[in-house]
Structures are given as C-alpha cells and as structure tokens.
C-alpha cells in the first residue's frame, strides 16, 4: 500500500516529463520542417506551419524570425519588419540568433521598402557591437550616397577598405562618391582599382565611361560603356550616354539606335524619358527626316505640352511637312537650311571645305570639284531672298572671291536675278542658279 502511494506521484511526474519532452521536440521538429520548406522555396507550406505554431508560442523568437524571412522573400516588407521587430522586442537570442544579424535583416527590409532612414538607423546600431559583419559599412555608405552625404559615405567606405582592401565593390563605391563630388581624378583612380580586382564589375566601367565623357575623351568612354551596356541593370544608362556621345560626334543614326535602346529598356523618370525622345527628334532633324522628328515631338507634347520648346518645334515642322520642297527650303530653320544647302552642293558634284552662315542670311561655302581635288576652289553662295537678287549682291560676292583668292563662283538664289546682275557676271566666272533651276535640283535631291 505504501509502495503504491509512492508510485502514483512518481508516475504522474514521469508522465509530465515525458509529455514535456515530446511536446518540445514536436515544436522543434515543426520549426525545422518549416526551415526545410523555406530553403526548398516552398514558402506557403512553411508559412502555414509557422502561423499555426505562433498562435500558441508567441514568445518563440525563432518562429518570428522565420516568418520575417518568409515575408521578406515574398516581398511583403511591412509584415517582415513587424516580425523582425518582435524578435528584437523579445530579447531572446537563442536558437542560433543574434541581435546584429537580425538588425541587418531588418535594415535590409527597410531599405527594400524605401524606408532609408530606418534602414540607416539599424545599420549604425550594428556597428556598436563587437565583431560585427564589416559589410554593414558598405550598406551604410550606399544609403549615405543616396542621401547625398558623400563625405560621410567616404569615411565609412575607407573604414571598410582599411580592414578589407580586396573588395572591388568598395573601391567602386568610393569612386562613385568622388564622382558625385565632381572630383573626377580621385573617382577615376578608385574605379580603376575596382576594375583591377574585378574587370567584370559593370558599374565601375559605367562610371569610368561617364568620367571620360565629361573629359571629352569620347572613344575611351565608348569603350568603357560597352561593359555596362551588356548588363541589364546598367544597360539603360550606358545606352543613354552612348547616344549623347554619338550625337555630339554627329553620328546621328547610331545615336538614335542607342537612344531607342534606352527607351525600350525604360526608366521610372518621366522627364528622362521625354528628354531622350527630344534628343531622338533632334537627331532626326539633323538627318532631315522631319516626319520622324515630328512624330517624336508630338509624343512629347501629348505627355507634357510645356516641355522645352516642343510646341514651337511642332508648329515649325508641321508647316514644313505641309509645303512643297521649294517652300520648305525657303522657310527652313537655320540648321535645316544648312543641311539642305550641303546636299545641293554635293549634288552639283562638289566636296565642301568650309561653310559659313553670315548675319545677312547668306550662306558661303568654299568647295572644290570632286574630280579636281586640290586644284581650284569655288565660292558658292546660297541666298534665300524672296525679292530679286541685284548687281550689288554679286559685286559683294566678287569682292569676297578676290579677298579669298578664289577665281570661280556659283550664286544660287530662291528668286530671280536682275538684268544688271546677269550683265555683271557675263565677263566673270560666276555661274547663276535661279529659282527655276534650284527647284529642279531640289526635286532631284532626297530630303
């Protein structure tokens, strides 16, 4: 009887111990199962397991930590932030968890959620711990650059490089910070250091390309921009910059192709998109493809009617589009007038040496016959007058020829020559091309 009385409580205690051990093992095994599914990418299965567990075990930091990971991977950043903050609030860093790691994860989620001030705060707290992951210095620097605190960013990057001088990305980031400060030589030095460590670092090549472009070293810039143009993350900026370089060099077709590549990739900055369309229109204008230019100007206008001078451009090009070729030449803006004049001179079988548009609107072109290279120059004057061109105008042209020691000339006008003008040129080597002959030439030129 005494033995029985003693055995009953012992048995009950034993049962509770066994149940407790089994129950704890069940929690741990289910947490491990959830971790397994997370690692396998089966997030919804893992989420269901953890949601069921957290109802009864709200104080278990591992459950909240794994929930934070799942919400982070699913892009539900607000819920991820809540779960990581719960882990920190519990102040239980068992199960292989540690506070710096959790704060880094929380900072990363804040950053993805575009809460950069909150992210910066978490990363800075991490630096107060011993033996923290020094890569947090780089995270801090990236945010400081985004906030335009370039000097402070440089301090953090230099702290990192002092400990680890082998990181290509750290040197790139240092180069980027100096670039933003317009200290191009320091920027170039650090970007070259980055490329020495990792030649495939596209962003370093991108910023080197931008530096060379700013310095006017366009061929070097184009070479550097080849690397980021193959990288989907930097293809837009590389294509945009290459377009600007080719436009500056007067290689308009190639500029257009690069600009179109940039538009195809797309940008969240609507003003940047409008600017690219504007530049494409300008290139088409230089190529005398006015219908194409007009379509881009209209596209800009439909988005923002007040963008730059697009309204005036549309009116100008619409008028040109609706008139005959001769009237188009007569009323063309300066750049187009020069371009069409060059085509006229080339049609007449000349190569152009010099070109100058005077204040009086008369275009002077020094050229030589293609088959007579290096022998005799001609002065070709192109005059857009609606009234007849008289003797005085031709006398002034003849004086220019004498000053330039040029003995042959051609005067092309959009009207007729007076009888006195024609008489003046009879004994002089000045050929006259009037409105009628000019119209025939313009009809034969592909504009």
Domains and CATH numbers, the chain: 350-444 (3.40.1340.10)
Question: Given this model, what pLDDT does residue 168 score?
Answer: 97
Answer yes or no: is pLDDT of 18 > 50. no
Which residues have a Cβ under 8 Å from the Cβ of 213 and sit 6 or more positions away?
Answer: 221, 241, 244, 245
Answer yes or no: is pLDDT of 242 > 90. yes
Contact 367, 350 (CB under 8 A): yes
Residue 35 in tokens: 């971790």
Region 172-192: what's the mean pLDDT? 97
Answer yes or no: is pLDDT of 22 > 50. no
Region 114-134: what's the mean pLDDT? 94
Determine the distance from the C-alpha atom of residue 179 to the mean position of all C-alpha atoms in its chain, rounded to a whole number. Answer: 16
Question: Given this model, what pLDDT does residue 446 score?
Answer: 64
Region 298-303: what's the mean pLDDT? 94
Q: How many CB atoms lie within 10 A of CB 207?
A: 25
Region 128-133: what's the mean pLDDT? 91
Round to whole Å and give the CA distance between 53 and 59.
11
Question: Given this model, what pLDDT does residue 5 score?
Answer: 46
Contact 109, 72 (CB under 8 A): yes
Q: How confident is the model at residue 313 (pLDDT cuts 50, 70, 90)?
A: confident
Alpha helices, DSSP H, located in 181-269: 184-197, 202-214, 218-229, 235-248, 252-265
- Beta-bridged to residue 389, according to DSSP, are 417
Answer yes or no: is pLDDT of 28 > 50. yes
Answer yes or no: is pLDDT of 99 > 60. yes
Of 290 and 139, more confident: 139
Q: How confident is the model at residue 444 (pLDDT cuts 50, 70, 90)?
A: confident
- Taking each continuous run of H as one helix and of E as one strand, the counts in the chain are 22, 5
Contact 261, 240 (CB under 8 A): no
pLDDT tens digit sequence for 3-17: 444 444 454 444 444
Q: How confident is the model at residue 321 (pLDDT cuts 50, 70, 90)?
A: low
Scan for tokens 């293609």, then name that residue: 370
Three-class secondary structure of residue 75 per DSSP: coil
Contact 70, 46 (CB under 8 A): yes
Contact 267, 236 (CB under 8 A): yes
Question: Given this model, what pLDDT does residue 319 score?
Answer: 63
Please report, for residues 40, 95, 102, 230, 380, the alpha-carbon distance to residue 92 in angstroms, rounded to integers and kept in the order given.
27, 9, 12, 47, 89
Answer yes or no: is pLDDT of 45 > 50. yes
Q: How many CB atoms lie within 10 A of CB 379?
A: 22
Answer yes or no: is pLDDT of 251 > 80. yes
pLDDT tens digit sequence for 74-88: 999 999 999 999 999
Question: Given this model, what pLDDT does residue 328 score?
Answer: 78
Round to whole Å and give the CA distance between 367 and 346.
9
Scan for tokens 């997030």, then name that residue: 43
Round to whole Å and give the CA distance between 415 and 324.
16
pLDDT tens digit sequence for 362-403: 999 999 988 765 678 999 999 998 889 999 999 999 999 999
Q: How confident is the model at residue 316 (pLDDT cuts 50, 70, 90)?
A: confident
Stretch among 15-24, 151-160, 221-230, 369-378 having the lowest mean pLDDT: 15-24
Render 152-168 in DSSP notation, one character per residue: HHHHHHHHHHHH-TT-H
Mean pLDDT of the residues in the chain: 89
Region 22-38: what's the mean pLDDT? 79
Candidates 395, 392, 363; CA nearest to 380 is 363
Region 93-112: what's the mean pLDDT? 89
Round to whole Å and give the CA distance between 434 and 447.
20
């Amino acid at each position: 009887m005494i033995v029985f009385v003693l055995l009953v409580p012992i048995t009950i205690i034993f049962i509770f111990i066994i149940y407790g051990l089994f129950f704890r093992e069940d929690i741990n095994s289910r947490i491990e199962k959830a971790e397994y599914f997370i690692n396998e990418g089966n997030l919804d299965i893992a989420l269901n397991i953890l949601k069921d567990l957290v109802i009864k075990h709200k104080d278990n930091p591992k459950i909240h930590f794994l929930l934070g990971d799942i919400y982070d991977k699913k892009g539900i950043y607000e819920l991820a932030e809540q779960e990581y903050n719960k882990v920190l609030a519990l102040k239980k860093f068992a199960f292989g968890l540690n506070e710096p790691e959790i704060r880094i994860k929380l900072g990363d989620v804040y950053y993805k959620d575009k809460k950069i001030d909150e992210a910066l705060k978490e990363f800075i707290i991490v630096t107060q711990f011993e033996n923290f992951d020094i890569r947090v210095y780089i995270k801090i620097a990236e945010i400081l650059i985004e906030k335009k605190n370039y000097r402070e960013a440089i301090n953090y990057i230099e702290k990192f490089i002092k400990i680890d001088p082998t990181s290509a990305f750290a040197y790139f980031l240092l180069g980027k910070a100096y670039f933003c400060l317009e200290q191009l030589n320091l920027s170039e030095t650090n970007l070259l250091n980055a490329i020495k460590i990792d030649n495939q670092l596209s962003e370093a090549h991108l910023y080197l390309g931008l530096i060379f472009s700013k310095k006017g070293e366009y061929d070097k810039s184009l070479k550097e921009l080849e690397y980021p143009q193959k990288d989907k993350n930097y293809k837009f900026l590389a294509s945009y910059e290459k377009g600007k370089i080719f436009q500056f060099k007067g290689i308009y077709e190639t500029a257009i192709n690069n600009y179109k590549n940039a538009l195809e990739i797309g940008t969240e900055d609507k003003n940047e998109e409008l600017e690219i369309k504007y530049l494409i229109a300008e290139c088409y204008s230089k190529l005398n493809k006015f219908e194409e230019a007009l379509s881009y100007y209209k596209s800009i206008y439909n988005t923002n009617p007040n963008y730059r001078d697009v309204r005036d451009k549309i009116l100008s090009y619409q008028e040109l589009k609706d008139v005959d070729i001769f009237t188009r030449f007569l009323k063309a803006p300066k750049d187009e007038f020069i371009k069409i004049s060059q085509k006229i001179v080339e049609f007449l079988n000349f190569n152009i040496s010099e070109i100058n548009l005077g204040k009086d609107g008369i275009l002077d072109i020094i050229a030589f016959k293609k088959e007579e290279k290096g022998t005799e120059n001609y002065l070709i004057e192109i005059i857009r007058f609606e009234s007849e061109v008289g003797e005085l105008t031709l006398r002034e042209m003849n004086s220019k020829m004498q000053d330039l020691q040029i003995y042959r000339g051609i005067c092309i006008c959009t009207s007729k020559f007076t009888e006195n003008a024609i008489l003046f040129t009879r004994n002089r080597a000045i050929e006259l091309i009037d409105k009628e002959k000019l119209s025939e030439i313009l009809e034969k030129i592909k504009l």
